[in-house]
């Protein structure tokens, strides 16, 4: 049995992770963290502490599951290094600098990092990269839709899909990514990978990749109808990482797709 700490315990993902983990004999939820102003601070089932007090509970956990914000996640990485705890990170909006921190931390501790932990999305990443290799001259555009409370844009999943396309084209997304278009001088360049974000309602997450050429359009889509697929993926990652050596892994490692 693994002792887990859930960061962002009372948020959409955190509370869903706790509810599902309580039904699984492989997990013992020892604590959760929340923003310092949360009315849930002090709850006992599990113990909820302020994010700023994470150090007071970190020694009780074997695995830290983090779906918070970049600044908080980076603090938790530091604590995990001190404790030698394992990390499952689903936080989105991480910068390239943040990702370098994770890469360096992965030299000492085990980390699974993925902006989307659903099985379907990670299968889609493989499909998209393979298609991109076979039709490198097609225009590629990615559209993602999320609920109106989502803070970062575009989604981490959309960026990962764009990275998969770029990898299939043997290019860097930093060189060919275009994020939205506005104005009169936006004629599409052949090598561009367009990424576009929509925010509305309570959509859990819709992602569509368009491959287009003269006379045809290929659409590949994934729609999350609830967060259950993300929660199941996070807990699957927590089980998988339990006996893994230090390294920075993603969900394709967890699913055996690499």
> What positions carry a catalytic annotation?
146, 150
Q: Are strands 139-146 and 110-113 parallel, antiparallel or unpaired?
A: unpaired
Phi, psi for 77 (deg, rounded to 5): -65, -45
Q: What is the dihedral of CA 72, 11, 163, 208, to 10 degrees?
A: -160
Rounded Cα gap, residues 5 and 172, in angstroms: 36
User: Three-state SS across 210-238?
Assistant: EEEECCEEEEEEEECCCCHHHHHHHHHHH
Residue 109: what are its φ and ψ, rounded to 5°?
Answer: -130, 165
DSSP assignment string, 42-74: T-BTTBEEEGGGGGGTGGG-SEEEE-S-HHHHH
For residue 230, the Cα-to-chain-centroid distance in whole angstroms is 9
Report how far residue 217's alpha carbon sits from residue 86's, in angstroms, rounded to the nearest whole number: 43
Q: Where does residue 120 fall: left (phi above 0), alpha (psi -120 to 50 degrees), or beta otherwise?
A: alpha
C-alpha to C-alpha distance for 189 and 144, rounded to whole angstroms: 21
Going by C-alpha positions, the residue among 258, 227, 251 that lies closest to residue 119 is 251
């Amino acid at each position: 049995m693994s002792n887990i700490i859930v960061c962002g315990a009372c948020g959409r993902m955190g509370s869903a992770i706790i509810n599902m983990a309580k039904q699984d004999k492989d997990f013992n939820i020892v604590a959760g963290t929340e923003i310092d102003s949360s009315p849930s601070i002090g709850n006992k089932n599990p113990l909820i502490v302020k994010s700023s007090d994470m150090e007071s509970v970190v020694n009780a956990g074997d695995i830290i599951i983090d779906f918070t914000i970049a600044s908080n996640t980076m603090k938790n990485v530091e604590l995990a290094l001190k404790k030698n705890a394992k990390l499952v990170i689903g936080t989105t909006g991480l910068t390239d600098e943040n990702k370098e921190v994770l890469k360096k931390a992965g030299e000492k501790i085990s980390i699974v990092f993925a902006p989307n932990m659903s099985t379907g999305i990670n299968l889609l990443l493989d499909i998209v990269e393979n298609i991109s290799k076979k039709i490198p001259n097609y225009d590629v555009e990615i559209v993602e839709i999320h609920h109106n409370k989502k803070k970062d844009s575009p989604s981490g999943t959309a960026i990962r899909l764009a990275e998969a396309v770029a990898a299939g084209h043997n290019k860097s997304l930093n060189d060919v990514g275009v994020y939205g278009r506005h104005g009169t001088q936006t004629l599409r360049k052949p090598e561009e990978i367009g990424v576009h974000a929509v925010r509305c309602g309570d959509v859990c997450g819709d992602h569509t990749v368009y491959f287009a050429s003269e006379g045809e359009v290929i659409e590949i889509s994934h729609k999350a109808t609830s967060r259950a697929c993300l929660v199941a993926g996070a807990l699957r990652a927590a089980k998988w990482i339990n006996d893994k050596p230090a390294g920075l892994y993603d969900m394709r490692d967890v699913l055996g797709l690499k």
